[in-house]
Amino acid sequence: MAGDKAQSVVVLRLGHRPSRDKRVSTHLLLAARAFGAEKAYYTGTRDDSLEESIRKVTIDWGGGFTLEYARGWKAVMGSWKGKIVHLTMYGLPFQEVIGEIRPDPSPKLIVVGGAKVPGEVYGAADWNVAVTGQPHSEVSALALFLHELYEGRELGIDFPGARLRVIPQGRGKKLQTWGRGV
């Protein structure tokens, strides 16, 4: 989780297309942040509004999550100092390989596809992992994978500096707000 160097996680979103992927990429990055990733890169078309949306969420809801545009995936994957997990429905079932991935102390780069994933990505990954062998959302794949990687501990992450925080209750909505963060 963020701050837990034994399980340092960064997400790489491949091939963002603002005209088609704006909501999916936003939701993927929100899931990455909420489920414990400390940073994300995205490739494809640079999208200032995507970057601003994620920056605003991090300011309001706290934590140190950062988002960075990368011109190409090869540079990010090629310079990565750790292990690479590629989430794909064509990989090995995650329930069969999570026991090998979880104890590995290396920083993890979690690669999540967009349109068409180049075959080279499969070869560059240490693990090609399937959350299911059925068509599904990359957002759900990332969330389920991170939940299993962290064994549920990510659900209790503290996001320092938050200006907003949900007050849990059975009915209705309640937020606690701070001017400078909590």
Say if 23 falls within a structural domain. Answer: yes
For residue 16, give the amino acid letter: H
Q: Is 100 exposed, middle or buried (0-12, 13-18, 19+ CB in 10 A)?
A: exposed
Say if 182 falls within a structural domain. Answer: no
- Split the chain (182 residues) into runs of 10 and give each run's mean pLDDT: 65 92 92 97 96 97 96 96 96 96 97 88 97 90 96 93 92 85 52
Query: What CATH number is given to the structural domain containing 56?
Result: 3.40.1280.10
Given a contact cutoff of 8 angstroms between Cβ atoms, the answer to whether 74 and 125 are in contact is no
Q: What is the pLDDT of residue 146?
A: 97
- Close Cβ partners of 78 (under 8 Å, ≥ 6 residues apart): 124
Q: What is the pLDDT of residue 4?
A: 46
Q: What is the pLDDT of residue 26?
A: 96
The structure's pTM equals 0.92
Given a contact cutoff of 8 angstroms between Cβ atoms, the answer to whether 123 and 84 are in contact is no
Q: What is the pLDDT of residue 138?
A: 93
Phi, psi of 81 (to 5 degrees): -105, 80
Say if 154 falls within a structural domain. Answer: yes
Task: Write out the residue range of the structural domain in which residue 92 sits.
Answer: 5-177
d(CA 119, CA 105): 27
Tokens coding 25: 């990429």
How many distinct structural domains can be found in the chain? 1
Q: What is the pLDDT of residue 133?
A: 85
